[in-house]
Amino acid sequence: MTGGCALVEAIRAANADKEDGGCPMGDGADTIVLTDDVVLNAVEQDGGGLPTVTSEITIEGMGYSISRSAGALADFRIGSVTSMGKLTLRNTTVSGGRADPGSAGAFYNSGELRIEGSTLSDNYATVAGGAISNLGTLVISYSTLASNSVASSTGFLTAGGAIYNRGDLAVDHTTFSYNEVYHDDAAFGGALANLTGYSVVIVDSTLRDNRALAQLGVSGGVAYGGAIANFGSLTLTNATVSDNRVSGMDVYGALFTSSGGTLTNVTFSGNNGNALYSSTATPVVVTSTILADTAGPNCAGASLVIDDLNSVADDASCGSIPNGLTYFDPTLQDNGGPTETHALLAGSSAIDAAGFCPVERDQRGAPRVGACDIGAFEYLGCPELVLADQVIASVETHEECSLTLGPELVIAAPDGDATVVYGQRVTVMNGFVVESGAHLAIERDPPLMLVDPVMVEAERARRGGRLRE
């Protein structure tokens, strides 16, 4: 987007494979690179501020934003993707879209939409999908959906504070936070509503502080799923569901399901109502999962059936899941990795209690070790630090371990690269470095090698007198 080529014109040129305004003609799959923030002021096409995507387009956001102007006279979503279109959005913030009345505050997708390393925030709709209504294929990776909302006092329902899914949805390494769905009578899915016949797979992700709110109306004010309302196929693996809320006369869980589901290494904590509510005899398969610190019973449902494999709860409401969780940190925080988690404390009954390892790494990306732990978090203690093939620090404690390195040591990374450090102090929490000198990174697997000062000169000579510092 340089030389007078605006985003609206660039999408038109890519769709039609011909010049438009100051933009060169598209040619097959096109990439548009943003060089500045984009502010949309009017409806361009199909209720969106951008032209509808009908071809294969990648927008490289480069950290810039696309937003509806706060002063725009009309309400409109950001854009749409048709059944023939494929849009990949990278490293971009999308905000301010308003589908009023309607669905999909940011994007209405009937084709293929990929969100990578991006943030969708403060988008709004009156019916469904505060950020996205998906009727095609939607893939979200390493992204954040925050403070999106759906609100209405009329109509049959509202659904999906962030996402309304009637297609195939896959999510990884992503955070859903502070999304909300509101209706006087019935509200479904503070972060996500998945309809009958459709599929959602969520991996290595956190759903926190989302809300489904229903005030007293003609149907009594019913709220389903502070985080997720599921009527289709649902799979959660290495996921954290924390501090989500349902409010109304009748409330049904942080996760409500009418069609079962598969939960593997999931941690539920701090939700109100119930953590898990099932309204069907279709089993919810719960493997290596923690249910804790819920305001009401962890599990509920008129037809609750749980197939349990080595899970643990802090009450007796979950059928075959034993009540015996100890030393669990109720504070959601950065424990390493791209999403926040709840840590296990030293001595927790969930440590090495899974009996087997359904997945090789935890939500943070840390390796599962030994008999493996229950929940989304694997307790590691501190990594081994090795000096000249001899272990010089290996401290198994949740709190922290630290080591002051010598006057000049070389960190030899597994890829053969090296970094010189000078008396730097390293602090490790739960197997991840949280404080260290510049350029120092520690990975537990394989163990870090600290090479003595004699090798510094040899490494410097090998690199022609230069070392990365």
pLDDT at 131 over 60: yes
Residue keyed to tokens 């010049």 = 19
Backbone angles phi, psi at 199, to 5 degrees: -125, 135
Helix (H) or strand (E) holding 454: helix 454-462
Among 10-24, 155-169, 172-186, 452-466, where is mean pLDDT lowest?
452-466
Domain total in the chain: 2
pLDDT tens-digit readout, 160-216:
999 999 999 999 999 999 999 999 889 999 999 999 999 999 999 999 999 999 976
| Residue where a domain stops, chosen among 251, 285, 313 | 313
Please give the share of the chain, as a percent, with pLDDT higher than 70: 79
Query: Which band of pLDDT confidence, cut at 50, 70 and 90, is reported for residue 321?
Result: very high
Residue 418 pLDDT: 42
404: CB partners within 8 A, 6+ apart: 423, 424, 425, 426
Residue 369 pLDDT: 81
Host domain of residue 391: 385-462
Q: Does some domain include residue 153?
A: yes
206: CB partners within 8 A, 6+ apart: 174, 175, 176, 177, 239, 240, 241, 242, 332, 339, 340, 341, 363
Q: Does some domain include residue 70?
A: no
Same domain, 299 and 405: no
Q: Does some domain include residue 40?
A: no
Q: Does some domain include residue 360?
A: no
Backbone angles phi, psi at 32, to 5 degrees: -110, 125
Q: Does some domain include residue 354?
A: no
pLDDT at 346 over 90: no
Same domain, 162 and 259: yes
In DSSP terms, 37 is beta-bridged to none
| Residue where a domain stops, chosen among 313, 348, 371 | 313
Spatial contact of 216 and 236, defined as CB atoms under 8 Å apart: no
Distance CA 11, CA 44 (A): 11
Query: Which band of pLDDT confidence, cut at 50, 70 and 90, is reported for residue 329?
Result: very high
pLDDT at 353 over 90: yes
Same domain, 136 and 264: yes
Query: Which band of pLDDT confidence, cut at 50, 70 and 90, is reported for residue 447?
Result: very low
Higher pLDDT: 247 or 1? It is: 247
Closest CA to 224 of 174, 267, 274: 274
Same domain, 309 and 396: no
DSSP 3-state assignment of 291?
A: strand
Residue 85 pLDDT: 98
Same domain, 393 and 290: no
Spatial contact of 290 and 325, defined as CB atoms under 8 Å apart: yes
Higher pLDDT: 217 or 178? It is: 178
pLDDT tens-digit readout, 265-303:
999 999 998 999 999 888 999 999 999 999 989 999 977
Same domain, 255 and 399: no
pLDDT at 334 over 50: yes
Same domain, 298 and 393: no
pLDDT at 405 over 70: no
DSSP 368: P
pLDDT tens-digit readout, 218-274:
556 889 999 999 999 999 999 999 999 998 888 889 999 999 999 999 999 999 989
Average pLDDT over residues 446-463: 43
Count the helix, strand and coil residues of the chain and give each as a percent rounded to the nearest 5. Answer: 5, 40, 55
Q: Does some domain include residue 25?
A: no
- Token couple for 164: 């309304």
User: Is it true that the peptide bond before 338 is cis, omega within 30 degrees of 0?
Assistant: no
Query: Which band of pLDDT confidence, cut at 50, 70 and 90, is reported for residue 442?
Result: very low
Q: Does some domain include residue 267?
A: yes
Closest CA to 405 of 392, 416, 389: 392
Residue 3 pLDDT: 53
The separation between the first and the last C-alpha atoms of the chain, rounded to the nearest angstrom, is: 36
Same domain, 123 and 206: yes
Same domain, 408 and 294: no
Closest CA to 102 of 141, 147, 138, 132: 132
Residue 305 pLDDT: 82
Strands 86-90 and 112-116: parallel
3-state secondary structure 188-226: ECCCEEECCCCEEEEEEEEEECCEEEECCCCCCCEEECC
Strands 299-300 and 284-287: unpaired
pLDDT tens-digit readout, 50-67:
999 999 999 999 999 999
| Residue where a domain stops, chosen among 313, 339, 372 | 313
User: Is it true that the peptide bond before 283 is cis, omega within 30 degrees of 0?
Assistant: no
Residue keyed to tokens 């987007």 = 1
Residue 250 pLDDT: 85
Strands 124-125 and 158-159: unpaired
Report CA-CA distances (Å) from 223 to 187, 191, 453.
Answer: 5, 13, 64
Same domain, 193 and 101: yes
Among 5-14, 144-153, 278-287, 428-437, where is mean pLDDT lowest?
428-437
Distance CA 229, CA 233 (A): 11
Q: Does some domain include residue 320?
A: no
Same domain, 150 and 256: yes
Distance CA 129, CA 149 (A): 8
Same domain, 149 and 272: yes
Query: Which band of pLDDT confidence, cut at 50, 70 and 90, is reported for residue 308?
Result: confident
